[in-house]
Chains A and B, each alone.
Chain A
Amino acid sequence: QVQLVESGGGVVQPGGSLRLSCAASGFTFSSYGMHWVRQAPGKGLEWVAFIRYDGSNKYYADSVKGRFTISRDNSKNTLYLQMNSLRAEDTAVYYCAKIGIAVAGTRGFDDYWGQGTLVTVSS
């Protein structure tokens, strides 16, 4: 079965850095684009970033552009999110997700989400 397992969250001071990982199994990781989505405590969902199956294209939310970098290692079936210059407003649960809809797409495949990893930015 499909599994996505995030790791790397924790407490970091403002201005600090953190790298999140998402280990994928149960599907051909190298064939699918992957997303990061976050949710601040008690707040709504915020899309963060997307990377194409081969890493050739990456897209970011304006709120993280220039500070966060999404990447992947298809040989390790692992997705990453490098987070630099962290701010208090980056505090959230970060989910990696295989979302089964494409931009401007009309087909819907199954979604898979990890359980999330909590990042807390605080001094």
Chain B
Amino acid sequence: DIQMTQSPSAMSASVGDRVTITCRASQGISNYLAWFQQKPGKVPKRLIYASSSLQSGVPSRFSGSGSGTEFTLTISSLQPEDFATYYCLQHNSYPLTFGGGTKVEIK
């Protein structure tokens, strides 16, 4: 099975900051990587699929990149509503696997 490792597990940032979260796969997954955002008490919301494709309705400050085993989610200018936990998900093969999550907190 493919293991997904996210870093950092938590971070503090200020409104307006550029934020980068990394996800590494234990083996190559081409570009089949999605990113989800989850706020407390809410269901996950998918931001990105296929590494860099923005889901409809997601603000353009979110972007994704990478292929093979290393991927990044970038928030170009952090907004108050972006404080949340972010998860990567490989959709290359079953079983699907999530990363451990990155909690983005207010500095």
Contacts and interface: CB of A to CB of B under 8 A. Distances in A.
B92 interface: yes
Interface in B62-107: 85, 87, 89, 91-101
Contacts of B43: 95, 97, 113-116
B94 A104 contact: no
Interface stretch (A13-21, A24-32, A44-52, A79-87): A44-52
28 contacts: A35-B96, A44-B98, A44-B100, A45-B89, A45-B98, A45-B101, A46-B98, A60-B95, A61-B95, A95-B43, A97-B43, A99-B46, A100-B46, A100-B49, A101-B34, A101-B50, A103-B93, A103-B94, A104-B30, A104-B32, A104-B91, A106-B31, A106-B50, A108-B50, A108-B56, A111-B44, A113-B43, A114-B43
Interface of A: 35, 37, 44-47, 50, 59-62, 95, 97, 99-106, 108, 110-111, 113-116
